[in-house]
C-alpha cells in the first residue's frame, strides 16, 4: 500500500508542478510588462508623429496655396476693370488718329491734352502689367493672341498672313486680356 501512496504522492506532485508552471506562464514578469508597455507607447508615439507630420504638410500646402492665391489676386484681380478700360483706350486712339492737321492747329491745346491723357493711361497700364499686343501687317496669324475678324484673298500674301489690324490686343501679365483683332489672308500658297 505504501507503493500506491507513493505513486499517488508523485502524481499529486506532478499535478502541482504543472499547475505552478501554468501560473508562471499566465502571469507575465515585470520585464514582460515593461516591454509590452514600451511597445504600446512606441506605437502611440509613432501614430502621433505621423499625425504631426501630416498636419505640418497640410499647413505648408495651405500656406503655399494662399501665397499662390494672393499673388494671383494681386496680378489678375483687376482684370475686369482693365478689360472695361480698353474701349476708353481705343476711343482716345481713334480720336487722335482722326484729328486732321487743320484741327491740330486750331485745337492744339485740346489735342495735346488728349495725347497726355493717352500717355498717362498707357503708363498706368504698364504699371499694372497690361501690355499691348500690336501685330503688324505681314506678321503671321497666331490664334493664341490674335482674333481673325475676316479672311480675304490678297495678292502677294500667303494664307495666314495678317493683312489688316482692326484693334490692338492686350496682355495682363502672362494672360490674354483681349486678342488683337486682325484680317487674315486666305490666298493659297
What pLDDT, on a 0 to 100 scale, did the predictor assign at position 25?
A: 60
pLDDT by residue (tens digit) across 101-127? 999 899 999 999 999 999 999 999 999
Q: Which residue has the cell 486712339?
A: 93
- pLDDT of 9 higher than 90: no
**CATH code of the domain occupying 132-189:** 2.30.22.10
Angstrom CA distances, 115 to 83, 124, 186, stand at 21, 14, 37
CA angle 145, 77, 147 (to 5 degrees): 15
Say yes or no to pLDDT of 132 above 60: yes
- CA-CA distance, 143 to 169, in Å (whole number)? 12
* 163 CB neighbour count, 10 Å cutoff: 20
Any idea what DSSP says for residue 141? P
Residue 29 DSSP one-character state: P
Q: pLDDT tens digits for 50-88?
A: 999 999 999 999 999 999 999 988 888 888 999 999 999
Decide if 161 contacts 146 (C-beta within 8 A).
Answer: no
Q: Which residues pair with 172 in a beta bridge?
A: 130, 175
Instruction: Return the domain boundaries, the chain.
Output: 2-72, 78-128, 132-189
Q: Which residues pair with 148 in a beta bridge?
A: 182
| pLDDT value at 181 more than 90 | yes
- Report H helices in 99-132: 101-106, 108-127
CA nearest to 183, candidates 141, 148, 137: 148
**Phi, psi torsion values for 46, nearest 5 degrees:** -65, -40
Q: What is the pLDDT of residue 77?
A: 85
Amino acid at each position: 500500500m505504501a507503493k500506491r501512496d507513493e505513486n499517488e504522492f508523485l502524481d499529486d506532485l506532478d499535478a502541482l508542478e504543472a499547475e505552478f508552471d501554468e501560473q508562471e506562464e499566465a502571469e507575465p514578469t515585470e520585464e514582460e510588462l515593461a516591454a509590452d508597455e514600451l511597445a504600446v507607447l512606441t506605437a502611440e508615439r509613432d501614430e502621433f508623429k505621423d499625425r504631426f507630420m501630416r498636419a505640418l504638410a497640410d499647413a505648408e500646402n495651405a500656406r503655399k496655396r494662399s501665397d499662390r492665391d494672393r499673388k494671383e489676386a494681386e496680378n489678375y484681380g483687376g482684370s475686369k476693370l482693365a478689360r472695361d478700360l480698353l474701349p476708353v483706350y481705343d476711343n482716345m486712339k481713334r480720336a487722335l488718329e482722326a484729328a486732321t492737321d487743320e484741327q491740330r492747329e486750331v485745337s492744339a491745346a485740346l489735342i495735346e491734352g488728349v495725347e497726355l491723357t493717352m500717355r498717362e493711361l498707357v503708363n498706368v497700364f504698364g504699371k499694372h502689367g497690361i501690355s499691348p499686343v500690336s501685330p503688324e501687317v505681314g506678321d503671321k496669324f497666331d490664334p493664341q493672341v490674335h482674333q481673325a475678324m475676316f479672311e480675304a484673298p490678297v495678292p502677294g500674301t500667303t494664307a495666314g498672313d495678317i493683312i489688316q489690324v482692326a484693334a490692338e490686343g492686350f496682355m495682363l501679365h502672362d494672360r490674354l486680356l483681349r486678342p488683337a483683332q486682325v484680317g487674315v489672308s486666305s490666298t493659297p500658297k
